[in-house]
């Protein structure tokens, strides 16, 4: 299974973390007065206040200006946040070269977030030529500092043999580190290893345990796989009602496989009352995303007039779509 590196710059405002237990103990005016006198910590915090619109109207230009002052004095958080601004094009014109430059300044001071973002740039070829060999040491430094995203990405690199020899033991070890920090992607990948017996002994119970951790965090792939486990009675007692519930969670997030499975349940009356109309609705959702099985079943529904008015032209259209994807039944 190929995995795509997510471009890991988080939603902009969430990146501005003030590293104190009480971020704004003083009034805006007091902090601004300190900042004006050159207090680097106050300059950084004032930038945060402008970026987040806390105790002042949001103003990204002001945030940038104050972070630049703090960064000029070596404030790592300000350097990192300026990197985020340029990477995302928030308050400035997007400029990945500038983002990289600011991340490098923060990374030189061992900021794990900046190390991670640089690793992502090299892993994805964002603003730089793609280079897994350069991404790996950056992720390793961030991971050693406990950065869950870096740990996850190292797992992906070892699983796929990108920049390193393929090594599922190493992949598993890195994913376990990330998973223990609550990274849903890593929890899902561990579930897949146990589900498919890749690098480990196949174990549906352990697969279920990892998928549940990711599923409760809203990870659609894990929710879909939980549906399969309950539908098939693998690692759990077969329970179609629970299977349906997990498929619905994933289906509502747009997972075409889960939408297809829900369509099949309603088509065949598995764990639910047979309902061709609902089957058609779920197949349409999946079919629109290119799910060949759903497209084929829509063809059948239109050909037989089940859940819809019989329509051979529509049936042919859906069969053609399924056939184009190699579905032998539709050809």
State residue 54's pLDDT score: 87
State residue 1's pLDDT score: 35
Alpha-carbon torsion 145, 151, 157, 158, what sign? positive
Mean pLDDT of the chain: 92
- 78: nearest Cα among 44, 51, 49: 44
Which of 2-6, 188-192, 213-217 is least confident?
2-6
106: Cα within 13 Å, side-chain hemisphere: 29
> Tens digit of pLDDT for each residue in 282-297?
999 999 999 999 999 9
10: pLDDT strictly greater than 50: no
- Phi, psi (5° rounding) for residue 112? -65, -30
Quote the distance between the C-alpha of residue 276 and its chain's center.
34
Rounded to whole angstroms, the maximal C-alpha distance in the chain is: 79
How far is it, in rounded angstroms, from Cα 178 to Cα 152?
6
Domain boundary pick from 57, 78, 109: 109
Percent of the chain whose pLDDT exceeds 90: 89
The domain tally of the chain equals 2
Domain boundary pick from 60, 93, 109: 109
248: pLDDT strictly greater than 50: yes
Q: 178 with 189: CB under 8 angstroms?
A: no
Quote the distance between the C-alpha of residue 308 and its chain's center.
37
119 CB neighbour count, 10 Å cutoff? 31
Residue 326 counted as domain residue: yes
Residue 42 counted as domain residue: yes
In this prediction, residue 331 has a pLDDT band, given cuts at 50, 70 and 90, of confident
State residue 27's pLDDT score: 87
State residue 328's pLDDT score: 87
Range of the domain at 279: 259-331
Residue 298 counted as domain residue: yes
State residue 12's pLDDT score: 44
* Mean pLDDT along residues 47-59: 92
Residue 131 counted as domain residue: no
SS3 301: helix
- 143: nearest Cα among 179, 112, 104, 182: 112
Dig out the tokens for 242 from the structure. Answer: 């629970």
How far is it, in rounded angstroms, from Cα 167 to Cα 158?
5
Domain boundary pick from 80, 109, 138: 109
Residue 248 counted as domain residue: no
Dig out the tokens for 175 from the structure. Answer: 């994913």
> Tens digit of pLDDT for each residue in 82-138?
999 999 999 999 999 999 999 999 999 999 999 999 999 999 999 999 999 999 999
Dig out the tokens for 178 from the structure. Answer: 């990330």
Residue 92 counted as domain residue: yes
- CATH number for position 90: 1.25.40.10
> Tens digit of pLDDT for each residue in 207-237?
999 999 999 999 999 999 999 999 999 999 9
Residue 84 counted as domain residue: yes
- Single pTM value for the model: 0.85
Q: 55 with 89: CB under 8 angstroms?
A: no
State residue 26's pLDDT score: 62
Tell me the CA distances in angstroms from 218 to 113, 149, 214, 224, one per residue in order: 24, 17, 7, 11
How far is it, in rounded angstroms, from Cα 97 to Cα 121?
10
Residue 1 counted as domain residue: no
């Amino acid at each position: 299974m190929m995995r795509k590196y997510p471009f890991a710059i988080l939603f902009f405002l969430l990146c501005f973390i003030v590293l104190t237990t009480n971020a704004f103990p003083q009034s805006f005016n007091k902090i601004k007065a300190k900042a004006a006198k050159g207090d680097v910590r106050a300059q950084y915090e004032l930038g945060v206040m402008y970026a987040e619109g806390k105790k002042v109207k949001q103003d990204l230009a002001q945030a940038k200006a104050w972070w630049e002052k703090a960064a000029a004095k070596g404030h790592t958080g300000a350097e990192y946040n300026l990197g985020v601004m340029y990477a995302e094009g928030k308050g400035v014109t997007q400029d990945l070269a500038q983002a990289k430059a600011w991340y490098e300044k923060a990374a030189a001071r061992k900021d794990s977030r900046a190390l991670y973002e640089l690793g992502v740039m090299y892993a994805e070829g964002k603003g730089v030529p793609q280079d897994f060999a350069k991404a790996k040491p950056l992720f390793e430094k961030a991971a050693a500092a406990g950065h869950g995203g870096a740990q996850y990405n190292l797992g992906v690199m070892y699983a796929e043999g990108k920049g390193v020899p393929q090594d599922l033991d190493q992949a598993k070890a890195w994913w376990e580190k990330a998973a223990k920090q609550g990274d849903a992607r890593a929890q899902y990948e561990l579930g897949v290893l146990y589900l498919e017996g890749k690098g480990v002994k196949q174990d549906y119970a352990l697969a279920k345990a990892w998928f549940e951790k990711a599923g409760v965090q809203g990870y659609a792939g894990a929710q879909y796989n939980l549906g399969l486990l309950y539908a098939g009675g693998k690692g759990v007692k077969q329970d179609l009602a629970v299977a349906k519930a997990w498929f619905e969670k994933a289906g509502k997030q747009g997972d075409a496989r889960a939408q297809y499975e829900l369509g099949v349940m309603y088509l065949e009356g598995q764990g639910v009352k047979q309902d061709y109309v609902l089957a058609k609705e779920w197949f349409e959702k999946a079919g629109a995303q290119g799910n060949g099985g759903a497209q084929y079943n829509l063809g059948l529904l239109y050909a037989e007039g089940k859940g819809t008015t019989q329509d051979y032209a529509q049936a042919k259209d859906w069969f053609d779509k399924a056939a184009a994807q190699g579905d032998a039944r539709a050809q």
